[in-house]
Amino acid sequence: MLTMSKQKICREMSSCEQDTGKKMEPSSSLSTAINGVVTSGSAAGLTQADMVQNGVAVTGSSRAYLENKAMHETKALAAELCRHFYTLGWVSGTGGSISIKVHDDSLTISHQLIVMSPSGVQKERMVAEDMYVFSSDGIKLSTPYFQPYPHRHPKCTDCAPIFMKVYEVCDAGAVIHSHGMEACIVTMMNPFSKEFRITHMEMIKGIQGHGYHDELVLPIIENTAHEGELTESITEVIRAYPKATAVLVRNHGVYIWGLSWISAKTQAECYHYLFNAAIKLHKLGLDWSTPSHGPIRNVNGVWGCGMNFNRGGLKAGPLSFDYMIEPSQRCIVLDIAGTTTSRPFVSNILFAYAHDNVGKHLAATYDTAETQDDINLLRSQVQNDLDQSIVGAVPVPQDYVGKELVIASLVANVESMIRADRNVTALKQLQAHIWRTGFQSNELVGVVYDDVPEALERWQAAGIKVYIYSSDSREAQQLLFANSNYGDLRKYLCGFFDTTLGNKEETHSYIEILRTVGVDRPADVLFVTDVFQDAVAARAAGLEVIIPNRPGNEPLPEHHGFRMIESLLEI
């Protein structure tokens, strides 16, 4: 089956041949796939003969299509943008790259051809002829001509796999990869942070789906030795942060995309402005991640305000706690069930809603990529349960037996997991997606205790950072606070942790939280939970612990030794 882009190419070639009455000579730069191997027409020895792409004859007249007005303008635009980005410091030293789809009204955006910059080329000297052209499914259709010494042999950007994945997942029209210094530094100010956050800055309005009062959150992934190795990590965080249109790579740079080249360029400029603002605020001792941008405490480590190295310089070897950020203020980590939200609400409303709507949700969304991913995760979990003879696990048939039977078996397994209160990723991921539908349809509202919004507001005004740590997935946590009975409370929260970093009853989980929030004195973090085992684990890690006395919470052992409160306003 041809993709739409290939069909369009073939139509153009056919039309050209009818008009001219002959086949055009194939370009020496035109590439094709023969038996699945990409090669150039000249390398394959194809002069007048037809070339083959996925079993379809492609003649030399394809050159006419690949050199039409829209294609030429897109190539020229990509070269012009590279030259401009060079002046901004985003693509110096031949680093960085750009990719743009060739607009064609007869094709959907997902099937348009793609222009991509080369690797190892002086970006300030780029011209249209330096560009590569790809089909929508990644077949190389055109390569630049080879230039003599000292130029290198043409090579497409190492970002190509990442660009193609972004196009596939985000349905973007252009992708920019910047090596801008500010994009590197914001990932280095806290080497343990997995996110960049900023709020109440005018340029946030230039980011798709965001306004001045919103908190902009971008994921940060770790760098690798080879750029193509980032593809899997970038794919994961794109799906985990659906509102983000950029991904930061620590000590490397940033990938930014938009619906068009204008959207991508505009957002890239806004992102770099915000990165630079965060760096300057950090140097001034101001907190860019809070609405007030108030002062933060002076820090003594190498990542402190003004980057003052006042501990005698860096020591050789791995970083120790002596060189971690000192806390800019006290941090509070909150549990959800029994702390911010009643346990009966979680059990009788949220879990009951997921239980009652599993079949309906799977049937309505069965063919979507998200639900297929949920199903595959459930299949794996069920098979593991069957291997361990877990009570309630039933085999999930293959798709060919029919969607109805597959759904019925999945429902049975999910219901069994919910009844057993199983804390497994497959169940939590599916529950979050079911709850999202419930919140979007206003069938669900996240009910929090009356003292929660006032306490959050007070803590924020005092410069205290607040995080959530719950056994529910991060997506589920954000849904609850975004759709609460007091409105969107996420503006008061600095981050969300779930059991992917570790079980709540294990001490090392709280050590990971300390590292992530950048605190080297555990007592500067307060953990509020009603679960005795969790409280013991957190105290063993050195955190201060308070237990709320809420209606419906489980009784505690006698002489448990923890301070108890009736309301969060007591903190």
Q: State yes or no: 289 annotated in a binding site.
A: no
Residue 14 CB coordination number (10 Å): 12
Q: Is the dihedral of CA 493, 494, 498, 503 positive or negative?
A: negative
Tell me if 482 sits within 8 A of 435, measured CB to CB.
no
H-state helical runs in 305-393: 343-345, 352-365, 369-387
Q: State yes or no: 504 annotated in a binding site.
A: yes
Q: Three-state SS across 509-537?
A: HHHHHHHHHCCCCHHHEEEECCCHHHHHH
Distances (CA, A) of 104 to 109, 113, 123: 8, 9, 27
Q: Tokens representing 452?
A: 């929660």
Q: State yes or no: 559 annotated in a binding site.
A: no
Q: Tokens representing 438?
A: 């419930």
Is position 202 annotated as part of the catalytic site? yes
Buried b (16+ CB within 10 A) or exposed e, 105-122: eebeeebbbbbbbbbebe
Tell me if 116 sits within 8 A of 163, measured CB to CB.
yes
Q: Which is it for strands 495-497 and 253-258: parallel, antiparallel or unpaired?
A: unpaired
Residue 555, phi-psi category: left (phi > 0), alpha (psi -120 to 50), beta (remainder): beta
Q: Among 337, 355, 356, which residue's Cα sits nearest to residue 346?
A: 337
Q: State yes or no: 103 annotated in a binding site.
A: no
Q: Which is it for strands 246-249 and 253-258: parallel, antiparallel or unpaired?
A: antiparallel
Q: State yes or no: 177 annotated in a binding site.
A: yes
Q: Tokens representing 279?
A: 């760096």
Q: Quick one: DSSP state of residue 341?
A: B
Q: Provide the β-strand partners of residue 40.
A: 31
Q: Give the separation between CA 297 and CA 287, rounded to whole angstroms.
A: 10
Q: State yes or no: 263 annotated in a binding site.
A: no
Q: Among 46, 64, 60, 40, which residue's Cα sits nearest to residue 145?
A: 40
Q: State yes or no: 72 annotated in a binding site.
A: no
Q: Tokens representing 153?
A: 């042999």
Which residues are CB-contacts of 417 (< 8 A; sequence separation ≥ 6)? 392, 424, 427
CA 97 to the chain's CA centroid: 20
Query: In sequence order, what DSSP letters do the residues of 435-502 get, joined into one string?
Result: HHHHHHTTS--B---THHHHHHHHHHHTT-EEEEE-SS-HHHHHHHHHTBTTB--GGG--EEE-TTS-
Q: Provide the β-strand partners of residue 469.
A: 497
- Selecting among 129, 202, 229, 370, the annotated active-site residue is 202
Known binding-site residue numbers: 159, 177, 179, 252, 470-471, 504
Known binding-site residue numbers for Zn(2+): 177, 179, 252
The residues assigned a catalytic role are 202
Known binding-site residue numbers for substrate: 159, 470-471, 504
